[in-house]
Structure 1
Amino acid sequence: MSIEVDSVVKQYGAQKALNSVSFKIKTGEIVGFLGPNGAGKSTMMKIITTYVEPSKGSVFVNGFSTENQGLHVKKSVGYLPEHNPLYLDFYVKEYLKFHADIHGVGKERIKEVIDQVGLIDIKGKKIGQLSKGYRQRVGLAAALLHDPEVLILDEPTTGLDPNQLRDIRDLIKKIGKSKTILLSTHIMQEVEAMCDRVIIINKGNIVADEKLDDLLTGQFQTIQIEFDKKVDEEIIKKLPYLKQISNLEGNVWSLGFETEEDMRAKVFDFTVHNGFRALQLNQRVTSLEALFQNLTN
């Protein structure tokens, strides 16, 4: 396994940021690490990259312990933090040479990375002159210079326009064929487009860890229904397996159920039994966004 996290706890005084978190990621996986603000995502990423020590538990990257083999871990990991720290007065090639010297890699590797992430046309420009998309590419290039086996990307697509999003997404997918990638983002469409697997964390606890396809075709289903008259929410809440309820407008409701059973017949029978009619009843394909809301609310 490229990343092994075992029963990690991180405590800041009385506040527990991570509560016995465990997961494993193997080579060739692109894993989306999701959660609301303050859920513990960035803390976990900083622990994996040795910037923060866990209060309890253990983390191994490529077989190296973050506790006592930190230098080996750093050699194995490329890290692009949420706020990409760049020296704006540096020229692109100058900045990458600075990083290459730190890692002890030669000029040929700089050329390879510049070509890999699409920086050829702007390698002679100052970083401060670049767009947000190109700055992200520079940060990604710096993370790739020492050819790490593992990439940790914290919000790599934040602030990018649609064209930049597509370019960075395609680049990450290409890199992910030979490396392990753990990425955090709030853009669910990007997770669906890039990731093989999703880990969702909420209040320091893992609430989901599944292949993306399995997660989207699993037990959670959403039904949209329009009643013929006003219905009290407390009556609707009597439906079995109901996990999410939302009044969209007027007498139209969105109902989320957690069960493998197709709930359309049960919802129809429920309306008849309670003395009202369903004017329309549709089962919607569950989106990652709906699952995320269900698991983190």
Structure 2
Amino acid sequence: MSTTEDRKGERIAKLLARAGVASRREAERMIAEGRVKIGEQPVTTPATLLENLKGVTVDGKPVKAPEPPRLFAFHKPAGLITAERDPAGRPTIYSALRNALPKGTPRLMPVGRLDLNTEGLLLLTNDGELKRAMELPSSGIPRSYRARTFGDISQDRLDELIEGVTIEGIHYGRINANLERKTGRNQWIELTLTEGKNREVRRVLEHLGLKVSRLIRIGYGPFHIGDLSRGSAVEIRQSDVERFRKTLKRGGHHSQTRSSQEEEASRRTSSPPPHQKRAPGGGERRRSARPRKPRP
């Protein structure tokens, strides 16, 4: 065992996250609670450096060597909590995942969260480092949503969100919002953002005077929900995961997202809306949002 003074190996919390034990932050909490040991000796600091996890136990159980990073797409139904357990006893995503995932699937951690009443694409991974990288705002990974709303709104008003908006002292960054379909005072709106702050989409739309009756996440980075049925999960191909990880390391998503949002805003002001197809559950969406399976 060594500390940061020796500069050999990697921080134990990072290794535990990579092994899928927990996220890095959760691993640090486990260490503080005395649940992580090397042999019989408790680990006292997450700054402990190791070359591997040989001899490391968590809650008395040996930690297995890290598996290759795996990524799953889950179509979360509304009414499920994005957590392992809920103090109030409400059903969680894991109760649904037990039937959706094949036997032998490693422990999976959700990438970000979807609110209780939000449905759609939720990515899960066995790799805590990949989870952390995908959640960081600095990664600039776009999240796309479709919202069914009630109220009065125009495309010009939605276009103002491209500059960001401050609500009750909280600033929300640039949002690309597209009015898809409008019937009276009801409409479907598609939004793309990169921050993923708590209840961001709902708060921004409510700030515009709209009531959100349904919210669906349809994309996260290059992955899209396609025709994945509600409550189902599918593993994303390993080659696609590796390609995505390389993009993250290069920091490619931030610049790509910014340019694509600017191009979309320009397209809306200079071209008529594209042909749209009806989406499952009502409303319409563009043909490009309907791959057969989640794909990069």
Tell which structure's C-alpha radius of gyration is larger.
1
Bucket of the pairwise TM-score, normalised by the shorter protein: under 0.3
TM (normalized to structure 1)? Answer: 0.23
TM (normalized to structure 2)? Answer: 0.23
